[in-house]
């Protein structure tokens, strides 16, 4: 007899250490089934070859998942020197080989060239769309189209290790940065070519990998243990200022109406009543605090 799953309302955030080989959506669906969560979403894609921090949102928390898409990120990247691939990573076909005659002082000279505001040309092997079709579909057919450079910011690049033809870097960057493009460009600057051999995301916004749980650990827990790893709905909002409302103001805000705006605050603001998040607001007409997203949590 086939098991019929009962989906239920689950509200909260899970910090997942995504394993190698799974797409972000595959990882999300596996975790969603473990929680029997009716609604879930992730906060930004990690390629199957990448591991590391993937915040997952369930229930009311999905209303805030997009807020992390614009967040800065930090990665640890293993760059293989001397081998260039058509995709810029280990999944691609090798298109060039070169002898690696790189010394540590060469790396110290080259890395600062990529720190700051830079331009990157998105790879053909990417999910960006042209005429409604992902570029990777065109790339698989051997078709290459012109791509506009995009501006990204590299806040810092640290060399963690260099041995033979393997270079391990820590990269802090803005949203939209292609680490495999960065790896390939560093290889060009070093004169030997390179591709991204491995990638691990360690920081998203102010959230760090050391707080994450692996899929295997989650599978080994019972329902109570899994729920204990679930963070509150507002876990992704901790960098925002907060406002406390009560009584009539709490009722007004919860029904989509503006309330008085405290002095000295700007931008997105967390709003709480009786110790519970009731939504996120922004300054608006009349100098009032206007609801932008409301949450409805079971008491």
Walk me through the domains of the chain, giving residue ranges and CATH numbers: 12-70+206-235 (3.30.2350.10), 73-204 (3.30.2350.10), 240-294 (2.30.130.10)
Rounded to whole angstroms, the Cα distance separating 53 from 17 reads 5
Mean pLDDT of the chain: 90
Residues 79 and 185: their CA atoms lie apart, in Å, by: 11
Least confident of 13-22, 191-200, 222-231, 262-271: 262-271
Q: Which of 120-124, 160-164, 173-177, 293-297 has the lowest mean pLDDT?
A: 120-124
User: pLDDT tens digits for 82-120?
Assistant: 999 988 999 889 999 999 999 999 999 999 999 999 999
Question: Is pLDDT of 1 > 80?
Answer: no
In the prediction, which pLDDT does 133 show? 66
The residues carrying an active-site annotation are 47
The residues that bridge with 161 in the sheet, in sequence order, are: 168
Model-wide pTM > 0.85 = yes
Secondary structure element (H or E) that encloses residue 30, with its range? helix 24-35
Q: What is the pLDDT of residue 257?
A: 95
Tens digits of residue pLDDT in 28-43: 999 999 999 999 998 8
- Cβ-count burial 24-57 (b if 16+ within 10 Å, e if not): beebbeebbeebebeebbbbbebbbbbbbbbbbb
pLDDT of amino acid 6: 87
């Amino acid at each position: 007899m086939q098991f019929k799953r009962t989906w239920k309302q689950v509200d909260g955030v899970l910090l997942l250490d995504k394993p190698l080989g799974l797409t972000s959506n595959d990882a999300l669906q596996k975790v969603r089934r473990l929680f029997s969560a009716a609604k879930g979403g992730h906060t930004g894609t990690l390629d199957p070859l990448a591991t590391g921090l993937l915040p997952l949102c369930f229930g009311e928390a999905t209303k805030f998942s997009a807020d992390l898409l614009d967040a800065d990120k930090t990665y640890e990247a293993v760059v293989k020197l001397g081998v260039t691939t058509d995709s810029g990573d280990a999944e691609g076909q090798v298109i060039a080989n070169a002898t690696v005659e790189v010394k540590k002082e060469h790396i110290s000279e080259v890395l600062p060239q990529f720190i700051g505001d830079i331009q990157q040309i998105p790879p053909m092997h990417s999910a960006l769309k042209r005429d409604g079709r992902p570029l990777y579909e065109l790339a698989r057919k051997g078709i290459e189209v012109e791509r506009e450079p995009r501006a990204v910011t590299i806040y810092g690049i640290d060399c963690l290790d260099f041995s033979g033809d393997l270079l391990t870097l820590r990269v802090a960057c803005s949203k939209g940065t292609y680490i495999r493009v960065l790896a390939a460009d560093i290889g060009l600057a070093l004169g030997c070519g390179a591709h991204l051999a491995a990638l691990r995301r360690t920081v998203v916004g102010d959230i760090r990998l050391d707080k994450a749980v692996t899929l295997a650990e989650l599978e080994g827990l019972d329902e109570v243990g899994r729920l204990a790893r679930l963070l509150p709905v507002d876990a992704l909002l901790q960098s925002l200022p907060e406002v406390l409302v009560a009584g009539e103001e709490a009722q007004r805000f919860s029904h989509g109406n503006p309330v008085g705006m405290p002095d000295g605050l700007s931008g997105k603001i967390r709003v709480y009543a009786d110790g519970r998040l009731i939504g996120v607001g922004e300054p608006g007409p009349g100098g009032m605090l206007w609801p932008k997203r409301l949450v409805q949590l079971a008491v």
